[in-house]
Each structure stands twice: as C-alpha cells, then as structure tokens.
Amino acid sequence: MKAEIAARLIDLNRQFYQTFALQFSATRGRLQPGVQRVLGGLPLHLDVLDLGCGNGELARELARQGFTATYLGLDFSAGLLAVARQGLPENYGFLQADLSSPGWDEALQPRMFACVLAFAVLHHLPGQALRRSLLASARAHLPGGGRLIHAEWQFLHSPRLRARLQPWEAIGLAANQVDEGDYLLDWRAGGSGLRYAHHFSEAELADLAEESGFRVLETFYSDGLGGRLGLYQVWENPVR
C-alpha cells in the first residue's frame, strides 16, 4: 500500500473516533466474552500495557478483579480517555498516543511490561509496514517470555456487518489502491460515518507473528452471535 493511501485511511479512522467518541463508548459498556476469557487468565500482580484502551472498561474490570500491579492504557482519542480516567485508583494510568505514528512509545522508555494487550488495534492499521512497526515497538517493552494478547474483528462472519460494507469510491479511492482484506464500513449510531478495517485470517496473523519475532501460543474465536466475531491470539516474545 502506498504511504499516501495509508495516511488517508489513518486520517479517516482518526476523524471517526474523534467525532463519535461518546457514541462509540456507549456501545462498549461491557467487555466481550473473549476479553473476559483473557482477563480471567491474566496474573493480577504483573504490569500491563493496554494499547487502544478506549473508554477504560477493561481497566475497570481489572480493578473489580483486584489487579494490584501497574496498568497503563494508551489511546489517541481524548474523548475516550476522558471517560477512561474516571474513578480508577492511582495504579491505573492513561496516556494519549497515536499508535499509527512513529515514536508513539517514546514516553514509555525504558518501561517494561509483563503483558501487552491490543484488542481491536491491528485491524485499524493499514498496511503491513505499519503493523510490523507497531509490533516491533510493543515487543521492545516485553521481556523474554512476555505475552502480547490481541483480538481482530471478524466482521465478515456477520451478515449484518457485511451489509455495512461500503465501496471505496465513497471516500474517493478504488479497490486496487488498498490491500486484499481491507474494507470500508459505515456507522449509524448518533450520525453517519465511515471507518477502515482489515479482516485478518489465521494464516495472515501467523506470518505477521513470525515476521515480528513472536511465537503464537494460542488462537481462539469468541464474541457475537455464533461466537466468531473476534479472532483472539496469544503471542510470546521468545527468551533470547
């Protein structure tokens, strides 16, 4: 994908989450079953970095479970972060950071975390180069044996969501200007909007893990009608 096309898709999503921060937050009042499953196996005494933390519902669930280590949530949406910061103890911190920009983790140096979470992050980053860059930065904050746990939206498994796919011409692009697996979806809550998402396959994620120096430990599907709207994976940063 050409850099200028990737930049347009990044800007599209940036505008979407700035415009619909409160409306989007209202649809995320509870955690998905797959996220609950991940948190159920997460040690409560080890530091966590949460990429794309959104409205902080995950952090609040950790607090309810008695999480005692340091939690740091990153998101580029000031509106979502304002919601996330409400009512959490001092071991929970939040930073505004654009994960699509180089150097997004400069403020974190030289901090290390036992686990990095990235739910609904990679599928909003256009192009392999950008995804590999984010994963390299995330890996730099993991010790050997540390885990990266992520989930990717499987919207093509839902007839309702497939009906929301829009032609690339709606934003002045052609299908041959984007990558295979890239889609444009509309939004209809509190106004109309468009956002970019990539639909990952297991094979594609296996290649991405290998290219990024991770080892895939676990894969499972969860969420939505039929339990297949989220593709979850646990990756390990091998001991070097």
Domain boundaries, given as residue ranges, for the chain: 3-155+199-236
The per-residue pLDDT for 191 is 76
Helix (H) or strand (E) holding 81: helix 78-84
pLDDT in tens, 181-213: 999 999 887 778 999 999 999 999 999 999 999
Q: Look at the block and give the residue holding tokens 């921060």.
A: 21
The per-residue pLDDT for 30 is 81
Amino acid identity at 112 = M
The per-residue pLDDT for 102 is 87
The per-residue pLDDT for 25 is 63
Amino acid identity at 22 = L
Q: Distance between CA 102 and CA 119 in Å, rounded?
A: 20
- Whether cis (ω within 30° of 0) applies to the bond prior to 43 is no
**Options 3.40.250.10, 3.20.20.80, 3.40.50.150, 3.90.25.10; CATH of 3-155+199-236:** 3.40.50.150
pTM value? 0.94
Q: Is 61 left (phi over 0), alpha (psi -120 to 50) or beta?
A: alpha
pLDDT lower than 70: segments of the chain: 21-22, 24-29
